[in-house]
Homo-oligomer: A and B are copies of this chain.
Amino acid sequence: MNIDPTELAPSARDRFDRMHSEIRSRICLLDYAPGTRLSEEALAAEFGISRTPLRRVLVRLEGEGLVQSVHGVGTFVTDVKIAELTQTYQLRLELAELTGKLGAVAPDATLWQELRALSARSKALLTDPDARRFAELNMDFFIALLKLTTNEPLKDICERLYFKTTRIWLKSVFASKIDLADEVDVFDREVHDILRALEIGDLHAASLIQRAHISMSFERMRRGT
C-alpha cells in the first residue's frame, strides 16, 4: 500500500482543496440545505484551523454561487429561484449536447470500469432505494460522464452548473419517498441507455440521451413543486 504524500505533508493548497471539496459536497448532497447558516467558527474548529483560511474557502464558494455572506448576519447556503433555475436548465440542455460535439472521446479502460461500477450501484438502488446513496450516485455518474469530453472549459462550466442546480432538484426529490423510487427507476434507465450508446461508439447519441433526461427531470420537478 502506497502512502499518500498529501496525507503526510498537507500543504496550504491541499488543505484548501480538501475543505472546498468537502463543504461543496455537503451543500450539494443537502447535508447543508439551502438557507442553512454555515458558522465560520464551527467549521474552522471542525477542520482544526482558524477562521482565516476557512474564510478563503467560503469566498471561493461564494464566487461559485453556492453560499452568500452577509455582514453581521451570517454565511448562508444559497437557494435558487424558479426563474433562474429554469434558465440554468435551458442552458444545461445545450451544454450537455455540446459535450458530445466538442472534443468528445470514447471511454478508456479505466472509465469503462468506472461506468460499469456505477451501473451496478444503480441496479442495487433499484431494490433498495436510499435518498442519500441516490444523491451520491447521481453526482458520481455526472462527473464520470464529463470525462467523455476533453474540452476543459466546457467541463468546468457543466460541473459548476450541475452543483448549482442539482441540489435544488434533489431537495424536491427528497421531499417524498414515492418520487424517489420513480427517480431511481428513471435514473437507472438513463445509465443503461447511455452505456448502450457508448458501447456502440455513438458519443453524440449519449449526449442527446443525457440532454433528454436533464430536460425531463426538470419537468418532473416543476410539476412536483
Contacts and interface: CB of A to CB of B under 8 A. Distances in A.
Interface of A: 11-13, 55-56, 59-60, 62-64, 71, 84, 87-88, 90-91, 94, 98, 101-103, 150-154, 157, 161, 164
Nearest to A60: B63
A62 B13 CA distance: 13
A107 to B, nearest CB: 20
A153 B157 CA distance: 10
A13 B56 CA distance: 16
Nearest to A64: B63
B157 A13 contact: no
Given A12-B71, A59-B59, A153 B94 contact: no
Q: Tell me the dominant secondary structure on chain A's binding face.
A: helix
Contacts of A153: 84, 87-88, 91, 161, 164
A121 to B, nearest CB: 30
Nearest to A154: B91
Most B-side CB within 10 Å, residue of A150, A157, A161: A157
Given A64-B63, A71-B12, A102-B94, A84 B152 contact: yes
Contacts of A101: 94
A12 B55 CA distance: 15
Contacts of A71: 11-13
Nearest to A102: B90
Given A59-B56, A60-B59, A63-B64, A102 B98 contact: no
A87 B154 contact: yes
Contact of A87 (B13, B91, B151): B151
A24 to B, nearest CB: 12
Contacts of A152: 84, 87
B102 A151 contact: no
Nearest to A98: B94
Nearest to A71: B12
Contacts of A63: 59-60, 63-64
A12 B154 CA distance: 33
